Amino acid sequence: MAGKRHVILGSGTAGLNAIRTLRQLGDDGPIVLVSAEAPYSRMVLPYYLARRITEPHVTTATGRQLDEWGVERQIGRRAEGLDTKAAKLRLDNGEDVAYDDLLIATGSSALTPPIPGAEHARCFNFWTLDDAKGVNKTISPDAHVVMVGAGFISFTILNGILERAGRLTIVELAPRILPRMIDDAGAAMVTDWLIERGVTIRAGAEITGIAERGQGLRLTFAEGDSIDADLVLTLDRETEREAKALRLNPPVEMLGDYVGTGEEVEDPYGRSRRHYRDVALQLKRLVELLVARLDSGAVSTPEP
């Protein structure tokens, strides 16, 4: 199989698996990878923070591997427009990338809470390798770390923070921690476990501002009090994809429209978000889409 020019937007798990699968299926057509970042795994960043792995182990595909796959790279570039009639992807440097088929695999992005000062250099989303490097440079055995948000993402890096910081405070806008994951009894058990390890928990607390104070930060609460911190982690995700920001001509359905089965919900800050909760149904619809493409001959399978 040859001929088609494939453009992959996003170098995460989905994008790299698409490249690998194309080559495994015998497709030797040109592949162009467009990504703001070099390929690495976000899922192992907690281990990088905990110093169980080094930066080379975060990488998922080296330049040599991409060369072996014959992948042309546009690393450090973002897409800002898409003309489906002309089959061209417009990059942020004004360059147009032509394609026969295009995979938009940009994933989710970090959610910065609408708190004045949350964009400070000592506030991190911990969603990118650069975030992780920033935390590594800032954290110390006597540092006071404040984690804003007590959901799933927070707990993926909890052990690393406990091992490397002197003090940890968790601030959650909801009345308890892990509000969308476990019930009240489970949350109470986790709360006790954290308190036993010296963690301060402020549930039902609203941060109204983050300001620079000396070499650190001061967080002000709606109750009128404040706390000082050396660094702040804002740990939430939104399902808005970079693809949604593309200026489309004409409008086009995204991969997310095939597999997204979420409902509109209001986040803790009063903003409307799409909440994806039924992963099994998402996968089912994706499999149905792929099977339909196999049946139509759009995708071929290798000979046994």
3-state secondary structure of 89: strand
Average pLDDT, integer, range 272-276: 44
Q: In angstroms, rounded to a whole number, what is the distance separating the alpha carbons of residues 64 and 71?
A: 10
Q: Which residues are CB-contacts of 249 (< 8 A; sequence separation ≥ 6)?
A: 81, 82, 83, 84, 85
pLDDT digits (tens, 9 = 90+) for 96-132: 999 999 998 887 777 788 899 999 999 998 889 999 9
pLDDT digits (tens, 9 = 90+) for 231-253: 999 976 554 444 444 544 443 33
pLDDT digits (tens, 9 = 90+) for 128-180: 999 999 999 999 999 999 999 888 888 889 989 999 999 999 999 999 998 88
> What are the domain boundaries of the chain?
6-109+240-296, 123-235
Task: Give the alpha-carbon dihedral of 232, 233, 237, 238, to 10 degrees.
Answer: 20
Cα→Cα distances 201→89, 171, 177, 280, Å: 46, 6, 8, 33
Q: How confident is the model at residue 288 (pLDDT cuts 50, 70, 90)?
A: low
Which among 25-34, 241-250, 253-262 has the top mean pLDDT?
25-34
Domain 6-109+240-296 superfamily per CATH: FAD/NAD(P)-binding domain (3.50.50.60)
Note the pLDDT of residue 86. 92
Q: In angstroms, rounded to a whole number, what is the distance separating the alpha carbons of residues 296 and 69?
A: 26
DSSP H/E element including 18: helix 13-24
DSSP H/E element including 209: strand 207-213
Average pLDDT, integer, range 169-192: 91
The residue type of 252 is V
The residue type of 114 is P
Whole-model pTM: value is 0.73
Note the pLDDT of residue 181. 83
At the top level of CATH, the class of 123-235 is alpha beta
Q: Are 150 and 178 in contact (CB under 8 A)?
A: yes
Same fold, 6-109+240-296 and 123-235: yes
